[in-house]
Amino acid sequence: MHTALLALGANVAGAWGEPRDTLARVARELEAAGVRIVGASRAYSTAPLGTGRQARYLNAVIRVEARLGPGMLLRLVKGLERRAGRRLGRHWGPRPLDVDLLDWGGRRIGRPGRRRDQGRLILPHPEMHARAFVLVPLLEIAPGWVHPVLGVPGRTLLARLGARRGAGVQALDFAAVPCDKLIQQRPRSG
């Protein structure tokens, strides 16, 4: 079994419903595919990246165990994005589901280039250290996490972003149930 960290995000309704419904469905779909969820952060309301007006995101991070290698896990989650209704659109645009493979057991794969190659696996995720909406929920479930390339604790990375960049990340007690509760409420089989 391999341990991985996945970031989940959604800010528009898609084939699986509203963002909170979509995050709950992702958990069920992963488990149905044999990926075991062993930890889940709360859901966070976060400010969108990029330009243009769009709704706030619902973001969470989950820790999973899988027998899949990182490439197969990436293919699985990108397939879930498509099934949830994601289509190619503008960079940092609205989406019904975004799943990023952040870390796979501390392994390093590929190197970030100057331009983004669609579908190319790079681990750890090349932008995660600069995103409060990833680091805040990640540190909730993995408080001792250290960036595999930079060798810097996640808490230090988050502190370096400063209060202004982290201000757009708000934990939700929720009218929409937190991700960890959504995952715990799923029906168990067997």
Residue the block writes with tokens 């009218």: 175
Q: Nearest CA to 158 among 172, 169, 149?
A: 169
26-50 confidence digits (pLDDT tens) = 999 999 999 999 999 999 998 887 6
pTM for the structure as a whole: 0.84
User: 3-class DSSP state for residue 2?
Assistant: strand
For each of the domains in the chain, give its residue range(s) and CATH number, in order of start. Answer: 2-185 (3.30.70.560)
pLDDT of 7-16, one tens digit each? 999 999 999 9
* 188 Cβ contact list (under 8 Å, min separation 6): none
Whole-number mean pLDDT of the chain? 84
Is the pLDDT at 81 greater than 60, yes or no?
yes
